[in-house]
Chain A
Amino acid sequence: MRELSLYVHIPFCMQKCRYCDFLSYKASEQDKKEYVELLLKEIEQQAPFYAEHQVISVFFGGGTPSVLDEKVIEKILCKLKKSFSFVANPEITIEVNPGTVTEEKLQIYFAAGINRLSIGLQSANDEELRCLGRIHDYQTFLETYELARKSGFRNINIDLMSAIPGQSEQSYRETLSKVLALQPEHISAYSLILEEGTWFFDHQKELDFPTEDEDRILYELTGQMLSDKGYHRYEISNYAREGYECLHNKVYWKRGDYLGLGLGAASMVEEVRFSNKDTMEEYREMIDNCAGKQNSRTCFRENIEYLTREEQMEEFMFLGLRLTQGVSRQEFEHKFGVNIEEIYGEVLTKLQQEGLLLTDEYIRLTPYGMDISNYVMSQFLLN
């Protein structure tokens, strides 16, 4: 049986963070209720197309999935388990924001089978949290974290962010120290990126963003402090203690099959990429239209891309390079029936000479290559 990962999108938030360009918004209870009903229908309708698959991971992302009533999450998970076949110990993650969970909520999550929690902290500095437009302060996070441990969660990720306006080396160091003291199993650390359409983007002139040099200092600090405490960097922005790498995350980079459920969710199944409708009206229409059409899975697929062999090679490279382990020459040859040198020989030599790649059995980014990974990855596009 083929392995499958499931991503479930919950597009709701208490309020939009100032840097966020994901598909999320503040919604009424009625809207949420209606959405969940559609989502349950979608699960029921889509699942039969994946009878040959076995689910290895589930990820509830958003938005903020924890703004939904815990019973609703339980219900969705129940539906998933009833509709898809699962391996014995799937990794099931939910993203939560501090201040949106209670002890009871966490207990119900845990009881329902959720075994991994991803908490969006971003910073341990209240000033910075306000600047980001977060709904919580550090104290609230601490309470959430403690509740999570108390409720039985033994696999917790904390999201952190550097290059926040006004952030100093000192304040970031403090954030890292505080978080490390809690000994989470996994840490995601990103540099803030200005995305078009966000509040930050529109107000960037008024904001005190770190200079590039300052940003680099923060970035290097991350790697250094985390590795000192035994966290292994397994992906460009992800660090984990031994045995706690995020299975679901790695599926994306290793190009495993994953199915996105819910508004605007992206999928890749058997070398076909597609996504769901990204407005509520269209999404509703799709669910209504597809009801009963058991034979047509394309009914659920928007923006379908049938990946050519070349596109598969490109993805194999630029996604695989996000992992510190790199891409395996042997696996490339096994997958595509051709030696990687034949396709990328020139690029590999050039990037190696530029000090951006290390190559032996595996091909992986050097630290400088990670800094400018977009440049490196773009070199692997063919044509």
Chain B
Amino acid sequence: MAVVDQSKIRNFCIVAHIDHGKSTLADRIIEKTGLLTSREMQAQVLDNMDLERERGITIKAQTVRTVYQAKDGQEYIFNLIDTPGHVDFNYEVSRSLAACDGAILVVDAAQGIEAQTLANVYLALDHDLDVFPVINKIDLPSADPERVKNEIEDVIGIEAQDAPLISAKNGIGIEEVLEAIVEKIPAPTGCADNPLQALIFDSVYDSYKGVIVFCRIMEGRISKGTQAKMMATGATAEVVEVGYFGAGQFIPCDELSAGMVGYFTASIKNVKDTAVGDTVTDLKHPCAEPLPGYKKVNSMVYCGMYPADGAKYPDLRDALEKLQLNDASLNYEPETSIALGFGFRCGFLGLLHLEIIQERLEREYNLDLVTTAPGVIYRVHKTNGEMIELTNPSNLPDPSEIDYMEEPIVSAEIMVTTEFIGPIMQLCQERRGRYISTEYIEATRALLKYDLPLNEIIYDFFDALKSRSRGYASFDYEMKGYEESKLVKLDILINKEEVDALSFIVHADSAYERGRRMCEKLKDEIPRHLFEIPIQAAVGGKVIARETVRAMRKDVLAKCYGGDITRKKKLLEKQKEGKKRMRQVGNVEIPQSAFMSVLKLDEN
């Protein structure tokens, strides 16, 4: 591959709503372009983390290069850049899109356009990508391709009449898609003789090679020996290897030049140096300015993570360190809780990101974790003019020092069939949403726009949305900014002692309800002791709800029959073992499950 004809390169991605068949279509494209035999195909080649496959979503952007023999007799290089499909990873999505020249929009022939479809298409159009639609799942009995075509034209405003009608699952219409890629997606532009300007759209850490940087070369060229400079972070390193992406492997080559998508390594030790969205240039011949659109990704959701077994603290630290090598958006710093001991306050892009990290810690690192209620970052304006960003409720200053507080607000778009508009509006109302507008997409579907406090949607908003719309509503959001809000810290006292790990920030109007439900939940979770245990919820020292765990009156007077002492001993051991998994707060033993249960207050 000495000389690459730029006109024969197609850099594109696939955008779709979750479950509309993005990964399956990607598989088919890879399969049909023939670089892989069917035998090499795993079910879904692009999603190569187990977790991703199980959840059916793509967490890390992946990319693959294949060669397509088109009907015009020419060979084309396809760089298919996969994008994460969840709102938590919006910024990563936007950087992946920026690495493309066009996008395939996959729409489910039965379900039509969803909120996420819209969000992703608009994002693609914002990046000036040429978007062409394909209608997937046409073999479903409920498929209605004509309606969906009209919907695409009406709502998004792109030509859809000649959209390929396909079934990615059954391999119908894939050829048509491949030809459309050649015809409809523009070849890259850019000149190999200009100074190097490359966009980083992802990176992974490899223990042998250091950070492997995924990039799109916009201008210039990069090869072994290039002194690479990351313009935003300022890091520099000498390039050791460049190459492109085979399916599931890295294939080294001599050079990457303008228009190409590939990777380079430069013995970089930390993914923080190669931030997504940063521009790589040549230290010796730098480009005039970086590519637009870089921003530092900030954590939106925080929670405390503690090892269930206090002795595993160093293991947790090591595991977080390792995960962070590959995930620049994961933040953590040590913290101490009176109830939970030594642990970390961790920052995430969103709740899904949090759950993924938690599961990876538990599965890949075999850690048993106790997590505290996730919260957002509040801005606390103190009377002395100082402003602090609060990630841990325990650090809230004394109320007398607080002038006012602000909380993050998101702009949310909810796509819903008209019959569920009522329940969904009610839900948004309950979550302190501010109504913006309703747009009718078609006679039976509408797009609701609301401004919502982030802390109202991080727990279970998505589940509530689904259950109140019988699964028909879809949802997307982006950060809007901070607004002043009447916030209070809700404390939980168990046997008159405040349990720091259970404190959280809540809107004053929800404090009572929330406190009451927490007390009820904790009452069920805390085992009976030899004495009565009051469980109280308090705001600013004033108790607003109370439950009582009654004193233990009897445990089992088992008939110990026929001298089967072994069985009796097992019972006692179980009882004692249960105690070991408890956390001591004052003279009360609290099971770890209690800390987690308060995260699920709405499950009833």
Name the prevailing secondary structure of the A interface residues.
mixed
Please give, as numbers and ranges, the residues of chain B lying within 8 Å of A212 by CB-CB distance. Answer: 553-554
Binds A, one of B111-119, B471-479, B559-567: B559-567
Is A371 an interface residue, CB under 8 A from the partner? yes
Please give, as numbers and ranges, the residues of chain B lying within 8 Å of A379 by CB-CB distance. Answer: 576
Per-residue contact bits, chain A 259-270, to B (CB 8 Å; 1 contact, 0 not): 010000111100
* B576→A273 contact, CB < 8 A: no
Please give, as numbers and ranges, the residues of chain B lying within 8 Å of A31 by CB-CB distance. Answer: none
Is A228 an interface residue, CB under 8 A from the partner? no
Known pairs A216-B553, A371-B553; A61 contacts B562 (CB<8 A): yes
Please give, as numbers and ranges, the residues of chain A lying within 8 Å of B564 by CB-CB distance. Answer: 266, 275
Please give, as numbers and ranges, the residues of chain B lying within 8 Å of A322 by CB-CB distance. Answer: 560
Is A215 an interface residue, CB under 8 A from the partner? yes
* A375→B552 contact, CB < 8 A: yes
Query: Chain A interface residue count: which class?
Result: 35 or more
Q: Give the most central of B552, B562, B565: most A CB within 10 Å.
A: B562
Per-residue contact bits, chain A 320-361, to B (CB 8 Å; 1 contact, 0 not): 001000000000000000000000000000000011100000
Please give, as numbers and ranges, the residues of chain B lying within 8 Å of A356 by CB-CB distance. Answer: 530
CA distance in complex: A9, B572 (Å): 25
Q: Give the most central of B553, B558, B559: most A CB within 10 Å.
A: B559
Please give, as numbers and ranges, the residues of chain B lying within 8 Å of A273 by CB-CB distance. Answer: 565-566
* A190→B559 contact, CB < 8 A: yes
Name the prevailing secondary structure of the B interface residues.
helix
CA distance in complex: A275, B562 (Å): 11
A266: contacting residue among B530, B557, B563, B576, CB under 8 A: B563
CA distance in complex: A305, B567 (Å): 12
Which A residues, 229 to 262, have Cβ-Cβ distances below 8 Å to chain B?
236-237, 251-252, 258, 260
Is A191 an interface residue, CB under 8 A from the partner? yes
* A378→B561 contact, CB < 8 A: no
Is B3 an interface residue, CB under 8 A from the partner? no
Known pairs A61-B562, A266-B565, A319-B565; A190 contacts B557 (CB<8 A): yes
Is A271 an interface residue, CB under 8 A from the partner? no
CA distance in complex: A372, B562 (Å): 22
Please give, as numbers and ranges, the residues of chain A lying within 8 Å of B70 by CB-CB distance. Answer: none
Which B-chain residue is minimally distant from A371 (CB atoms)? Answer: B554
Please give, as numbers and ranges, the residues of chain A lying within 8 Å of B338 by CB-CB distance. Answer: none
Which B residues, 495 to 534, have Cβ-Cβ distances below 8 Å to chain A?
530
Please give, as numbers and ranges, the residues of chain B lying within 8 Å of A72 by CB-CB distance. Answer: none
Please give, as numbers and ranges, the residues of chain B lying within 8 Å of A190 by CB-CB distance. Answer: 557, 559
B572: contacting residue among A213, A258, A354, A374, CB under 8 A: A374
Is B555 an interface residue, CB under 8 A from the partner? yes
Is A78 an interface residue, CB under 8 A from the partner? no
* A193→B557 contact, CB < 8 A: yes
Please give, as numbers and ranges, the residues of chain B lying within 8 Å of A373 by CB-CB distance. Answer: 555, 557
Please give, as numbers and ranges, the residues of chain A lying within 8 Å of B542 by CB-CB distance. Answer: none
* A381→B561 contact, CB < 8 A: no
Known pairs A236-B557, A266-B565; A318 contacts B572 (CB<8 A): yes
Which A-chain residue is minimally distant from B550 (CB atoms)? Answer: A212
* B575→A372 contact, CB < 8 A: no
Known pairs A318-B572, A374-B572; A216 contacts B554 (CB<8 A): yes
Is B573 an interface residue, CB under 8 A from the partner? yes
Is B569 an interface residue, CB under 8 A from the partner? yes
CA distance in complex: A143, B576 (Å): 46
Is B571 an interface residue, CB under 8 A from the partner? yes
Please give, as numbers and ranges, the residues of chain B lying within 8 Å of A237 by CB-CB distance. Answer: 557, 559
Known pairs A193-B556, A374-B555; A381 contacts B563 (CB<8 A): no
CA distance in complex: A124, B266 (Å): 87
Q: Give the most central of A213, A305, A373: most B CB within 10 Å.
A: A373
Known pairs A215-B554, A378-B576; A266 contacts B566 (CB<8 A): yes
Please give, as numbers and ranges, the residues of chain A lying within 8 Å of B556 by CB-CB distance. Answer: 191, 193, 374
CA distance in complex: A265, B562 (Å): 7
* B575→A375 contact, CB < 8 A: yes
Known pairs A193-B557, A375-B552; A9 contacts B576 (CB<8 A): no
Is A84 an interface residue, CB under 8 A from the partner? no
Known pairs A219-B554, A378-B575, A381-B576; A354 contacts B530 (CB<8 A): yes
A260: contacting residue among B554, B557, B563, CB under 8 A: B563
Which B residues, 221 to 239, have Cβ-Cβ distances below 8 Å to chain A?
none
Q: Give the most central of B555, B557, B571: most A CB within 10 Å.
A: B557
CA distance in complex: A193, B565 (Å): 17
Is A308 an interface residue, CB under 8 A from the partner? no
* A315→B565 contact, CB < 8 A: yes
Known pairs A212-B553, A378-B572; A305 contacts B566 (CB<8 A): yes
Is A7 an interface residue, CB under 8 A from the partner? yes
CA distance in complex: A124, B525 (Å): 39
* A252→B563 contact, CB < 8 A: yes
* A258→B557 contact, CB < 8 A: no
Is A22 an interface residue, CB under 8 A from the partner? yes
Q: How many Å from the CB of B564 to the closest CB on chain A?
A: 4
Is A96 an interface residue, CB under 8 A from the partner? no
Which A-chain residue is minimally distant from B579 (CB atoms)? Answer: A378
Q: How many Å from the CB of B216 to the closest CB on chain A?
A: 60
Q: How many Å from the CB of A255 to the closest CB on chain B?
A: 9
* A372→B554 contact, CB < 8 A: yes
A7: contacting residue among B554, B562, B576, CB under 8 A: B562
Per-residue contact bits, chain A 357-373, to B (CB 8 Å; 1 contact, 0 not): 00000000000000111
* B561→A303 contact, CB < 8 A: no
* A9→B562 contact, CB < 8 A: yes
Please give, as numbers and ranges, the residues of chain A lying within 8 Å of B579 by CB-CB distance. Answer: 378
Is A377 an interface residue, CB under 8 A from the partner? yes
Known pairs A372-B552, A372-B555; A260 contacts B573 (CB<8 A): no
A268: contacting residue among B563, B572, B576, CB under 8 A: B563
Please give, as numbers and ranges, the residues of chain A lying within 8 Å of B554 by CB-CB distance. Answer: 191, 212, 215-216, 219, 371-372
Which B-chain residue is minimally distant from A61 (CB atoms)? Answer: B562
Please give, as numbers and ranges, the residues of chain A lying within 8 Å of B562 by CB-CB distance. Answer: 7, 9, 22, 61, 260, 265-266
Q: Give the most central of A9, A236, A252, A267: most B CB within 10 Å.
A: A252
Please give, as numbers and ranges, the residues of chain A lying within 8 Å of B576 by CB-CB distance. Answer: 378-379, 381
Q: How many Å from the CB of A54 to the closest CB on chain B?
A: 18
Please give, as numbers and ranges, the residues of chain A lying within 8 Å of B566 by CB-CB distance. Answer: 266, 273, 275, 303, 305
Please give, as numbers and ranges, the residues of chain A lying within 8 Å of B560 by CB-CB distance. Answer: 252, 322
Q: How many Å from the CB of B569 to the closest CB on chain A?
A: 7
Per-residue contact bits, chain B 563-604, to A (CB 8 Å; 1 contact, 0 not): 111101101110110010000000000000000000000000
CA distance in complex: A190, B553 (Å): 16
Q: How many Å from the CB of A317 to the closest CB on chain B?
A: 11
CA distance in complex: A260, B569 (Å): 18
Which A residues, 96 to 142, have Cβ-Cβ distances below 8 Å to chain B?
none
CA distance in complex: A236, B556 (Å): 11
Please give, as numbers and ranges, the residues of chain B lying within 8 Å of A374 by CB-CB distance. Answer: 555-556, 558, 571-572, 575
CA distance in complex: A165, B295 (Å): 68
Q: How many Å from the CB of A131 to the closest CB on chain B?
A: 18
CA distance in complex: A356, B529 (Å): 13
Which A-chain residue is minimally distant from B561 (CB atoms)? Answer: A22
Which A residues, 12 to 64, have Cβ-Cβ distances below 8 Å to chain B?
22, 61
Please give, as numbers and ranges, the residues of chain A lying within 8 Å of B530 by CB-CB distance. Answer: 354-356, 372, 375
Task: Given contacts A190-B559, A268-B563, list 11 more A-B pairs with CB under 8 A.
Answer: A22-B561, A22-B562, A193-B558, A219-B554, A237-B557, A265-B562, A266-B564, A275-B566, A315-B569, A354-B530, A355-B530
Chain B residues engaging chain A, CB cutoff 8 angstroms: 530, 552-566, 568-569, 571-573, 575-576, 579
**30 pairs, CB–CB < 8 Å, chain A vs chain B:** A190-B559, A193-B556, A193-B558, A212-B554, A237-B557, A237-B559, A252-B560, A252-B563, A258-B563, A260-B563, A266-B566, A268-B563, A268-B565, A275-B566, A315-B565, A318-B568, A318-B569, A356-B530, A371-B553, A371-B554, A372-B530, A374-B575, A375-B552, A375-B555, A375-B575, A378-B572, A378-B573, A378-B576, A381-B573, A381-B576
Which 10 pairs, one residue from A and one from B, show the smallest C-beta to C-beta distance?
Answer: A374-B555, A378-B572, A378-B576, A371-B554, A378-B575, A266-B564, A252-B563, A372-B555, A266-B563, A191-B557
